[in-house]
Structure 1
Amino acid sequence: MSVNTILFDLDGTLLEMQTEPFIEQYLRALGRYVGDACDTKKLIALIWDATKAMITSQEADKTNEQVFIEYFREHGEWNIEEIWPIFDAFYRDEFPKLVEHTHPSPWAKQIIAGAKAQGFRVAVATNPVFPRDAIHHRLAWIGMDPEEFELVTVYEESHFTKPNPGYYLEICKKLGVEPSECVMVGNHMQEDMVASKVGMKTFLVTNWMEDRGEPSYPVDQKGTLEELHQAISGRSGVFAG
């Protein structure tokens, strides 16, 4: 089958940034915002552990949000009904300020515009370990709206995370496409290029490339954001057929 759908990673790909320093700043900001409401160190440790529970979950009948909340209830010492509104307020009011720890560039809009001009379907395949608000804010930082994509993966609606191959199969099911019709574009060897395991073609973006060494996956094409734009607009390489 010929390629008709492009899945784009967000952090480090469409949104230029280094992921680990950003996560550090995010957790610091959350800790400051929560303040005296709870023991900050315990809370952040619990958030990390609940996130790991989402990443390792194989329960296809539970959303990532459900897995996170269940872990939080079972292992935390706080009343979730009291602390959740604090989280919601943080994502609404404080999370947008974290844009200063990223490097938005014009390439994102140009790449998406180029893909649409060539008739490709486009979706944002960002790791759904964040609430919808946090992901939509990050799209806004590159000047884009969720409505500009056929799908944006968020933890309220996704049942798997990267690097689980099931995450990519779920996207295909939602879009009604076969993996062989898709190209996964991302900057992370382990989390994005794993899409090759389900039969997707892959494009590794090198500007903010991340590679933990193992495991390693086949890369069909790689290049900078500028080279990605050229390949999509010219329907060359993995985007040719």
Structure 2
Amino acid sequence: MTTNTILFDLDGTLLEMQTEPFVKSYLVEVGRHIGDKYDTEKLLKLIWDATKAMIVNQDADKTNEQVFIEYFTANSEWEREEVWPLFDSFYRDVFPTLSHLTYPSPWAKKIVETAKAQGYRVAVATNPVFPREAIFHRLAWIGMSADDFELVTVYEESHFTKPNPGYFAEICQKLGVQPTECIMIGNHMQEDMVASTLGMKTYLVTNWMEDRGEPQYPVDQRGSLEELYQALTERTGVFAQA
């Protein structure tokens, strides 16, 4: 079947960055924003555990946001009404300042625009463990917005996370395409290349590649962002026309 849809990972792919240092700095800033009002260490652990609850969730009837809130409120000594305004103000006022932890390059916009010019439908398949606002900020760092894509996965609307194959299946369902019509482009062997188990073609971006070792998945093509742009422009490899 001919491919007609490209799913782009964001962190480490379109937005050049190292995930682990970014997450560590992000949590430090959350703690700083919370200040002395709460036990910062306890609250950050709760945020991390609630995030893990989203990752292992298999209930298709609950969004990631619902899973996060349910876990947080069930295990918290604080009321949601106390803490959530702090989260909201953090994502509104502080998160945008974290762009210095990333390395936006012009390749992202060029690649997406070329894909669209080639007739591909495009979506952002970023792990939906962040609120919409945080994901939209990161798109802005590469000079793009949600309007540039048919779909951007956010935790308010998604029911699974990477590396659950159900996450990719849900994207296909929302776009009305078959997995075999899609190409997944990402930098993570386990979280992105798992899309191959559904029949998607895969392109592993090597600039900021992440690989935890196991499991390993088939990779149809790999290369830098520059090589990705070249392959897309010349319609070679996974982008070759049938």
**Is TM more than 0.5 here?**
yes
The superposition leaves residues 127-172 of structure 1 with CA deviations (integer Å, 9 ceiling, x where unpaired) of 0000000000000000001010000000000000000000000000
Structure 1 residue aligned with 2:15: 15
SS of aligned partner of 1:62: coil
Q: Which residue of 2 aligns with 1:219?
A: 219
Given the alignment of the two structures, is residue 171 of structure 1 paired with residue 194 of structure 2, yes or no?
no
Distance 1:148 1:188 in 2: 23
- Alignment length, in residue pairs? 241
Which residue of 1 is the match for residue 96 of structure 2? 96
SS for the counterpart of 1:122 is: strand
- CA distance in 2: counterparts of 1:229 and 1:111, whole angstroms: 5
Partner Cα distance (2:187, 2:202) in 1: 10
Secondary structure of 2:7's aligned partner: strand
Q: Which secondary structure does the structure 2 equivalent of 1:11 belong to?
A: coil
Distance, in Å, in 2 between the alignment partners of 1:122 and 1:108 is 13
Superposition deviation, residue 37 in structure 1: 2.2
Q: Indicate the RMSD between aligned Cα atoms, in angstroms.
A: 0.5
Identity of aligned residues (%): 74
Paired with 2:74 and 2:49, the residues of 1 have a C-alpha distance of: 12
Structure 2 matches for 1:51-200, cutoff 5 A?
51-200=51-200
Q: CA deviation at 1:239?
A: 1.0
Shift of the alpha carbon at 1:234?
A: 1.5
Instruction: Map residues 40-55 of structure 1 onto 2, 5 A cutoff.
Output: 40-55=40-55
Matching residue of 1:208: 208
| Range with bigger deviation, 75-84 or 159-168 | 75-84
> Counterparts of 1:195 and 1:150 in 2: how far apart (Å)?
19
Q: How much has 1:236 moved relative to structure 2? A: 1.1
Q: What is the distance in 1 between the residues matched to 2:53 and 2:199? A: 26
Distance 2:181 2:69 in 1: 35
1:28 lines up with 2:28 in the alignment:
yes
Partner Cα separation in structure 1 for residue 240 and residue 73 of structure 2: 49
The residue identity in structure 1 corresponding to 2:221 is Q
| Letter aligned with residue 36 of structure 2 | D
* Stretches (4+) displaced over 4 A: none
Per the TM alignment, residue 231 of structure 1 is displaced from its structure 2 partner at its CA by 1.0
Q: TM-score, normalised by structure 1?
A: 0.99
2:93 alignment partner, SS class: helix
Can you list the C-alpha shifts for 1:37-78, whole angstroms capped at 9, x where unaligned? 211000110011000000000000000000000000111111
SS in 2 for 1:29: helix
How far has the Cα of 1:81 moved from its partner? 1.0
Match of 2:5 in 1: 5
Runs of at least 5 residues in structure 2 that lack an aligned partner in the other structure? none
Q: Give the C-alpha shift of residue 202 in structure 1.
A: 0.2
Consecutive unaligned residues of structure 1, counting only runs of 5 or more, are: none
SS at match of 1:103: coil
SS in 2 for 1:37: coil
